[in-house]
């Protein structure tokens, strides 16, 4: 039985000539062990931001930064091509294709400037260019290195709805197209190198898959082929127990379950976005996160929610993460007691400001509701709440609506906590003994994590203190 591997390279993994050379060596090594390999590439690091900034400026009628953006893009891609592609014909062809795409950015931005607005469809057309540039470069570099590869845009086989900027794939159509296009290439021993992050509507309009879109592309391709394994190549040795900038002895987790990684990603750790890996998990396909710059490291393997009650070597807490720059908003008043619909109206008001709430806590007395919002949205959230509850504030049923200064949400994650008594006790004793005051607490019924709100200046102390529970 032939084994199939899908590998995705992130922006830093294809961000320079050196990184590209590493990626090509990884592709060559993979081909020795796997019969069939598909490669998914992100845009070179920094490129997508540059593209989106150019479009945003253009939507305000400013095109004076376009020549600089154009030359930056040319420089970045051409410099890598000049170093890595020895075959002159191959190099010139790749550069000509890259140049044509850069010129199309200029045309798109000029059109946006004339209209004075960038529609979601136009933004997707601009954002897709980074991957479309990258795939031509990586495919040419791979071919020059003697690897039989073919660059192909995922718009040809990832079919989505027309929800621009966060499109959803049509799995039935995508399965048919993906197999029809990629299998014949792999049957001939050719490695398809394709674009992450982008798809197309049935009519052929380019769409993007939203945050974490390149990981999502790899997961979609892996699930529909189906592949045996999906490997995500990035610039870290897998998922860490915490931010190594805060705790020097943070370690790589050899394995982590889907429910744990979902909590970590939600609470700000730089790991895979849960949506992006769902197709792989649903299809029961193996997933690994590895480091392009340290390819011999085993990285982190993702498992279905583990049978061993989530404990690894008896370890209950697996990771600690923090989201900074949050504020706690509180609605309090004795008149709220037993009044139905207060929470619904409160969160309706928050939703009207397009703010996402990462944490909620309410006492059973119903005299107050407290929730976190990102700091920069706090003023508009308070304004919306005061407007919504103007009558209750006037009648003194609600005493006040207020927010704290900046706080951080610190989250302790570990599936083993579900079956271990006393974890919360240990967490709070640990914090109390180290002088960290907890302002609010939330624990979901899944019991894979406990989240605590602490003062902004206590963030690092809280993370370091709780990280000690991992190594105990």
Ranges in the chain annotated CATH 3.40.1160.10:
4-235
Range with the poorest average pLDDT among 16-20, 24-28, 360-364, 373-377: 360-364
pLDDT at 416: 80
Q: Which CATH number fits domain 306-472: 2.60.120.10, 3.40.50.300, 3.30.2130.10, 3.20.20.450?
A: 3.30.2130.10
Provide the phi-psi class of 364: left if phi over 0, else alpha when psi is between -120 and 50, else beta.
alpha
Ranges in the chain annotated CATH 3.30.2130.10:
306-472
4-235 — its CATH code? 3.40.1160.10
159-203 confidence digits (pLDDT tens): 999 999 999 999 999 999 999 999 999 999 999 999 999 999 999
- Does the pLDDT value for residue 54 go beyond 90? yes
The CA distance from 55 to 278, in Å, is: 31
> What SS3 class is residue 40?
strand
256-282 confidence digits (pLDDT tens): 888 888 888 777 666 777 777 889 888
DSSP string, 171-239: HHHHHHHHHHHHHHHHHTT-EEEEESSEEE-TT--EEE--TTHHHHHHHHHHHHTT-SEEEEEESSSS-
Beta-carbon count within 10 A of 387 CB: 11
What does the H/E/C string look like for 111-165?
HHHHHCCCCHHHHHHHHCHHHHHHHHHHHHHHHHCCCCEEEECHHHCCEECCCCC
The CA distance from 118 to 58, in Å, is: 8
What integer best gives the mean pLDDT of the chain?
A: 92
Number of residues in the chain = 472
389-414 confidence digits (pLDDT tens): 999 999 888 999 999 999 999 999 98
78-109 confidence digits (pLDDT tens): 999 999 999 999 999 999 999 999 999 999 99
pLDDT at 336: 81
- What does the DSSP 8-state code read for residue 332? E
105-145 confidence digits (pLDDT tens): 999 999 999 999 999 999 999 999 999 999 999 999 999 99
């Amino acid at each position: 039985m032939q084994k199939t591997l899908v590998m995705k390279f992130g922006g830093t993994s294809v961000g320079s000539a050196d990184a590209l050379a590493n990626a090509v060596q990884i592709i060559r090594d993979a081909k020795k062990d796997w019969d069939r390999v598909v490669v998914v590439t992100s845009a070179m690091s920094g490129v997508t931001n540059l593209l989106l900034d150019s479009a945003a400026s253009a939507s305000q009628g400013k095109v004076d930064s376009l020549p600089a953006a154009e030359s930056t893009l040319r420089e970045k891609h051409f410099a890598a091509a000049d170093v890595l592609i020895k075959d002159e014909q191959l190099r010139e062809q790749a550069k000509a294709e890259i140049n044509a795409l850069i010129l199309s950015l200029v045309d798109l931005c000029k059109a946006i400037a004339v209209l004075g607005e960038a529609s979601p469809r136009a933004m997707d057309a601009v954002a897709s260019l980074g991957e479309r540039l990258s795939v031509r470069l990586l495919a040419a570099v791979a071919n020059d290195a003697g690897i039989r590869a073919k660059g192909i845009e995922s718009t040809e086989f990832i079919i989505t709805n027309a929800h621009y900027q966060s499109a959803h794939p049509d799995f039935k159509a995508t399965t048919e197209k993906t197999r029809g296009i990629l299998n014949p290439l792999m049957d001939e021993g050719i490695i398809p190198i394709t674009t992450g992050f982008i798809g197309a509507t049935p009519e052929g309009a380019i769409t993007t898959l939203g945050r974490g879109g390149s990981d999502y592309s790899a997961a979609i391709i892996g699930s529909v082929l189906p592949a045996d394994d999906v490997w995500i190549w990035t610039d870290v040795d897998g998922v860490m127990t915490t931010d190594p900038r805060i705790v020097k002895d943070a370690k790589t987790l050899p394995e982590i379950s889907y429910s744990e990684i979902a909590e970590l990603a939600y609470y700000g750790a730089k790991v895979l976005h849960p949506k992006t890996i769902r197709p792989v998990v649903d299809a029961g396909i193996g997933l690994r996160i590895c480091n392009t710059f340290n390819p011999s490291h085993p990285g982190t393997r993702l498992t279905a929610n583990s049978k061993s009650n989530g404990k690894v070597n008896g370890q209950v807490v697996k990771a600690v993460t923090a989201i900074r720059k949050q504020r706690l908003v509180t609605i309090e008043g004795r008149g709220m007691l037993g009044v139905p619909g207060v929470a619904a109206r409160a969160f309706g008001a928050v939703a009207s400001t397009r703010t996402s709430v990462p944490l909620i806590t309410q006492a059973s007395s119903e005299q107050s509701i407290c929730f976190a919002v990102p700091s920069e949205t706090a003023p508009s959230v308070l304004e919306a709440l005061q407007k919504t509850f103007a009558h209750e504030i006037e009648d003194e049923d609600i005493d006040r609506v207020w927010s704290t200064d900046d706080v951080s949400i610190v989250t302790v994650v570990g599936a083993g906590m579900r079956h271990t008594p006393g974890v919360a006790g240990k967490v709070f004793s640990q914090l109390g003994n180290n002088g960290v005051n907890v302002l609010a607490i939330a624990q979901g019924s899944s019991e894979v994590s406990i989240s605590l709100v602490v003062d902004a200046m206590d963030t690092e102390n809280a993370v370091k203190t709780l990280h000690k529970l991992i190594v105990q």
